[in-house]
Structure 1
Amino acid sequence: MSSVSEFATWEPVLRLMLADDTDRRSARSARVAGRISRHGWSLAHRGAMSSTARIAVENIQTALARGGVQEIAFRAEVQPDGSTTLGLVWPSPVVEPAVGYPDLGVLVLADGALPEPWLRRPDPVPGAAPAPSVDLELLERTLRERLPDAVGATEEQIAAAEARLGVTLSDELKVVYRVTRVDWVDDFEGAISANNAVGCEISGLEHLNAVDGAVRHPGWYLGATEALRTPPDAAVQGVAGSPGWIGFGSNGGDEFAVDLTPGPAGHVGQVILVDHEQSLGAELVADSLTDFVLGRVREEGHTHHGDGLPAVAKVGTGGLETIEAAADPALEVLSIGAWAGTPFSLAPVAGLPRLRTLTALPGTLADPLEVAGFTGLEFLELGAREWRVLLDAGAVPRTLKAAAIKVRDQDHLPVVDLANEILALWDRPRIIQTLLEGDLGPAA
């Protein structure tokens, strides 16, 4: 990794990113930032990459692979005369990289911390019952006709699976495994036949699993600004996972599950599809396993996220024009974007019981100290100057699970020191930054 810590290695990359620089031509310092990983890069530049820069990037990627390092972030400040300070930010177990962004990333303030939606359990639905289409005799007869030589699971094996999962399987799912236990190890051909008979790549009884919401977490940058929504007419609850979503098969990428915790308009035992490209909710496929096996599937859209008012509000240019317009007891996520007007006061949303995420671009808050009055925040993203105000006042909310520093027209290099101050409040490991000095010469 020694070559990565040499300024000459990075010089072609910096020159590429400064090709259209106007700051130094105007006697101002220029600031650039980006990331290079083993398999890609995020570099802000226009036009094609020069062969020299491409070779430099590939050399850095090779060094990262040899050193067992996934990626490296960098940020540089270049003076008009060419003198340059380059900061290399090494991977940290407490930083979730900001993929596609020049920002440092998300500071995770507790091991395994997740946004609230990925921890939420499904709501009880009193009176939920199996669909009228459930027909245990028809289901068993159909499967035995399709699988005349299949060997089924014993009642003891089914009971063991229920004990492992901590739930009682639906009667339909029990019928399936009484007909075929699906043995992918000792009876591969029989398992393939079971796939054809059931209509998906079916799992063996011992591999039944409850869909874990934590596994679907997309990362804090996306997850912190999401909210759940289960409308009164929803068949499937908009949660990330449930102890009652029993995964029994797949279509090669997405997971089919029997839903024992349906939405208000759903049925116990309905079949849902958990899309691997989605992080919340699931799609209703069939009202029952009987319907699913018989090919009577539904075509309905994915359950909706709570990505709009009143749970999620975006204030600023292109969104709401006042904080008052976002104030609602149901508000969970408040994002303040670009705004050319007077900075906003947060007073209208102070004391809201469910507000857990606040993001605000640099310069958009009238008084950053108002953040100290938010007692339920779990994610906070502010500019460097706003964080400085909170740190100097000892006012950083201690309810936070994660935090981020938004860099815009500010010094990039001190961001790591600022982040380490935040991490220190939670006794988290510090981020390591290597500073290199070099000279790129005056602007062309």
Structure 2
Amino acid sequence: MDDQNPLWPSSAAVHDFATWEPVLRLLRDSGVEKKTTAPSLRVAGRIGRTGWSLRLRRRLPPPGRAAQAEDMRDETEAVRRVQRALAAVGVDDVSFTAAIAPDGTTTLRLLGPSPAVKPGMGTPHPGVLILVEGAVPEPWRRLPDPTPGAAPAPSADPALLERTLRERLPDAIGATEAEIAAAEARLGVALPEELKALYRVTRSRWEDLDDDDHEAARRACVAVGCELFALDDLYIADASSRHCGWEFAAMEAVVTAPDAAVQGLVGSPGWIVFGDNGGGDRLAVDLTPGPRGHTGQVVIIGHEENIGADLVADSLTDLVMNRRSRRGGGSGADRPPAVAHVNIRSLPSVEAAAHPGLEVLSIGVWDAEPLSLAPVTDLPRLRTLAAYPGTLADPLEIAALTTLEFLALGPEEWRVLLDAKAVPRTLSAAAIKVHGDQDPLPVVAIANDLLALWNRPPILQTTLKGTLGPAPSAARVE
């Protein structure tokens, strides 16, 4: 592993042991990771410009009082010292590990960053490794299926919609035809007639209201049935608008049942977002409906879900007239799931998960004999495998899975594949699943071995040495 990081000038404060000394002293003196049989104490953590993760034993506030900022002043000041140093060199996040001898002599190793590695979540270990630059999981590459028979709902009535809104909003300022045309040019799609009719009544610009008239804004929300975006703020909710980390996105699957009104997509070039429900969920006009849907139906895109949308109204006219759809989106309950979970609470075996449509196999906590992957080796669509450490009988069976694009395994399983030169070369991303208090250095070594197979930038290591002085006697008590 490299001992110099070309991303940081050697004179930068982040390379000064004194910058890290307060954080290391807090970790050492808290005694959280003290091991009486070890010749030195190992501490680790992660600090970013907007947050941090440190294994500290924090003092509880007095009974009857909530925790306050003052209770964490030492920690906050120590971390901010590092954050300022990171900001000075334009680094967002860095993990570290340190060995601290009883006399305070310390070897600190800074790990990263690498443009090919996402930060771990609340851990000093590497996050997802992006093996193919710019790659996104399969659900984020999916485009809508064609629905040639789709048509607007019988309830769609642009004239009624416009007349109703003019009665409800007599003082609203509407968009001109030129402004509507400009919005269409910006979006690259023709607006449906109902949406044009809506914005001819009100272009929904805040500056059109007199003296920030909040009551007028409230009336507009009631009139339309949502918090209406300004015409200038319309956007297309395609897949790129719905950010999700690889480790979560790879576990999703696009499924649209034959009786679905809405396609089960991450996003669509035909989802034109025009409003919000007040809780962060977006309302969109859907120009790419499911097999049982209508062109121009209104869907809601939940901000807590990674995939899919729900039908709200068969038309924008129905939304304005407060006629919500009673149609379901289609269950697809007669088909085996594309995502399967094998663990002590869900499916009892890999055999139970196997079927030709399986895309994602997650093997979780398991208290029986390790599992064989033989039942899924010939499945044509299996693209994701995530296995809890120690659950696989033979990690080398993974070599027979020729369609994988994402693989998450424990360090020991990855080492078996690496040593046998059996890492699937179809992968676009990978993750090392670490549980418990494991030394980050061996995990970083595995990550770098994987990155090297794809000629991706490694996680570089910078070593700093210094002394913290003897630990207080209280910190030496187990």
TM-score category (smaller protein): 0.7 to 0.9
1:36 maps to 2:47? yes
Aligned mates of 2:288, 2:409 — CA distance in 1? 38
Match of 1:296 among 298, 305, 323: 323
Match of 1:234 among 257, 260, 273: 260
Deviates more, 1:60-69 or 1:238-247: 60-69
Which residue of structure 1 aligns with residue 383 of structure 2? 356
Does structure 2 retain, via aligned residues, the 8 Å contact 1:114–1:214?
no
1:54: how far off?
Answer: 5.2
1:377: how far off?
Answer: 0.9
Match of 1:97 among 119, 123, 133: 119
Which residue of structure 1 aligns with residue 289 of structure 2? 262
1:113: how far off?
Answer: 1.8
Match of 1:372 among 399, 409, 418: 399
Which residue of structure 1 aligns with residue 456 of structure 2? 428
1:317: how far off?
Answer: 2.9
Aligned mates of 1:76, 1:352 — CA distance in 2? 45
1:269: how far off?
Answer: 0.9
- Output one character per residue of 1:243-292: Cα deviation in whole Å (capped at 9) or x when no partner: 11112233453322111112233222111122233221123222211111
Deviates more, 1:354-363 or 1:427-436: 427-436
1:349: how far off?
Answer: 0.7
In the alignment of these two chains, the number of paired residues is 439
Are the structure 2 counterparts of residues 44 and 186 from structure 1 closer, same or farther at C-alpha, using a change threshold of 3 Å? closer
What amino acid maps onto 1:415 in structure 2? V
Does structure 1 retain, via aligned residues, the 8 Å contact 2:109–2:463?
yes
- Identical-residue share of aligned pairs (%): 56
Aligned mates of 2:423, 2:154 — CA distance in 1? 55
Match of 1:413 among 441, 451, 459: 441
1:249 maps to 2:262? no
TM-score (norm 2): 0.79
What amino acid maps onto 1:353 in structure 2? P
Match of 1:12 among 13, 21, 25: 25
SS at match of 2:396: helix
Does structure 2 retain, via aligned residues, the 8 Å contact 1:313–1:333?
yes
1:153 maps to 2:176? yes
Are the structure 2 counterparts of residues 86 and 341 from structure 1 closer, same or farther at C-alpha, using a change threshold of 3 Å? farther
Structure 1 runs, 4 residues or longer, greater than 6 Å off:
78-84, 299-306, 438-443
Q: What pairs with 1:60-75 in structure 2 (closer than 5 Å)?
A: 60-75=82-97
Aligned mates of 1:114, 1:66 — CA distance in 2? 31
Flag structure 2 segments of 5+ consecutive residues without an equivalent.
1-11, 61-70
Q: What pairs with 1:163-202 in structure 2 (closer than 5 Å)?
A: 164-180=186-202, 182=203, 184=205, 187=208, 197-202=223-228
Which residue of structure 1 aligns with residue 428 of structure 2? 401
RMSD of aligned residue pairs (Cα, Å): 3.6
TM-score (norm 1): 0.84
1:25 maps to 2:53? no
Aligned mates of 1:400, 1:79 — CA distance in 2? 41
SS at match of 2:440: coil
Aligned mates of 1:59, 1:305 — CA distance in 2? 54
Does structure 1 retain, via aligned residues, the 8 Å contact 2:257–2:330?
no
Are the structure 2 counterparts of residues 354 and 208 from structure 1 closer, same or farther at C-alpha, using a change threshold of 3 Å? same
Match of 1:275 among 302, 305, 326: 302
- Output one character per residue of 1:51-93: Cα deviation in whole Å (capped at 9) or x when no partner: 6555533443444445543222233567899986543223332
Does structure 1 retain, via aligned residues, the 8 Å contact 2:358–2:382?
yes
Flag structure 1 segments of 5+ consecutive residues without an equivalent.
none
What amino acid maps onto 2:27 in structure 1? L
Does structure 1 retain, via aligned residues, the 8 Å contact 2:140–2:239?
yes
Aligned mates of 1:29, 1:305 — CA distance in 2? 57
Aligned mates of 2:328, 2:99 — CA distance in 1? 48
Which residue of structure 1 aligns with residue 343 of structure 2? 316
Does structure 2 retain, via aligned residues, the 8 Å contact 1:122–1:261?
yes
What amino acid maps onto 2:23 in structure 1? W
- Output one character per residue of 1:286-325: Cα deviation in whole Å (capped at 9) or x when no partner: 221111122333589999899x963222223333332212
